[in-house]
Every structure is written in structure tokens, then in C-alpha cells.
């Protein structure tokens, strides 16, 4: 479970940076502080996990593998279906093994986040299967 406590810190920003942050916060509906915290957190995650970036998508903001369009959760889903084989996963997804390794490293540090994506997508797939009539054979 995420730690929701906050620690007070005071930062001085250049006026232009502060103005851009305020505009972006207004565009996204986030508070100035929440957006600044997200940017700092994601920046640190990018440093810790080269090959991982973040993107806003209809289902929410997610970690994804740079240059592929794949979410980390998607890589992990294929990895799990491939009995943990990085070469098989890379071959199936047609990506270099180093990018699968980047996703695995991110997952190791943020399992609750990725497991949440896996579970949400599993439930969505189950709902879709229940709504889809069988194809006559």
C-alpha cells in the first residue's frame, strides 16, 4: 500500500518553471503540489529505471517501455505466460531483451502498481468475454 503521508519541503523555482507548472496543473486538474510531486517521483523512477517512461492513457497514467508503446504490465503479462523466459518474451513482443529486462527491473521495484494493472486488465478481459456471444462453428 502506498504511503500517503507527506513531508514538508520548501523549493524555489524559476518564475518560468513555476508558471509552466501552474498552467499544466490547470490543464490536468491536478493541484500544483500534486503535479510537482508526480514530476519529481517520475523523474526519479526514470533515473532508477532507464528504458521506462510514463504516459497518460484513457485508463490512466502508466509506466511503459520506451520506444515500444508497451506498458510494463503488458511485458510482465507475456513474461508470466512465457514461464519467466526473457528471450521468449522478447521474441514474442519483437523487442530487445534489454527492454524486457528493464520492465522486469521496474516490476521488481513497483510490484503493487504493475499487479494492479494486470488485475484491472484481467477483469476487463473477463467482462468482454462474458459480453461476447460465442462464434458459431
Fold adopted by 51-137: Arc Repressor Mutant, subunit A (1.10.10)
- Res. 134 pLDDT band, cuts 50 70 90: confident
HSE on the CB side for 58, CA within 13 Å? 1
40-69 residue pLDDT tens: 999 999 999 999 999 988 888 999 999 999
Residue 2 has pLDDT above 70, yes or no: no
Provide the residue ranges of all domains of the chain, joining segments of one domain with +.
Answer: 14-48, 51-137
Q: Which of 7, 13, 90 is nearest to 41 (CA)?
A: 7
Select the more confidently predicted residue: 86 or 122. Answer: 86
On whether the CB atoms of residues 93 and 87 are closer than 8 A, the answer is no
The pTM of the full predicted model, rounded to 2 decimals, is 0.86
Amino acid at each position: 500500500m502506498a504511503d500517503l503521508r507527506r513531508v514538508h519541503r520548501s523549493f524555489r523555482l524559476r518564475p518560468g518553471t513555476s508558471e509552466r507548472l501552474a498552467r499544466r496543473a490547470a490543464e490536468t486538474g491536478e493541484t500544483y503540489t500534486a503535479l510537482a510531486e508526480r514530476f519529481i517521483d517520475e523523474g526519479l523512477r526514470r533515473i532508477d529505471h532507464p528504458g521506462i517512461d510514463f504516459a497518460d492513457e484513457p485508463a490512466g497514467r502508466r509506466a511503459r517501455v520506451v520506444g515500444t508503446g508497451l506498458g510494463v504490465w503488458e511485458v510482465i503479462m507475456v513474461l508470466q505466460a512465457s514461464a519467466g523466459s526473457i528471450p521468449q518474451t522478447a521474441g514474442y513482443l519483437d523487442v530487445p531483451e534489454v527492454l524486457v529486462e528493464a520492465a522486469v527491473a521496474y516490476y521488481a521495484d513497483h510490484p503493487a502498481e504493475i499487479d494492479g494493472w494486470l488485475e484491472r486488465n484481467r477483469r476487463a478481459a473477463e467482462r468482454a468475454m462474458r459480453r461476447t456471444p460465442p462464434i458459431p462453428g
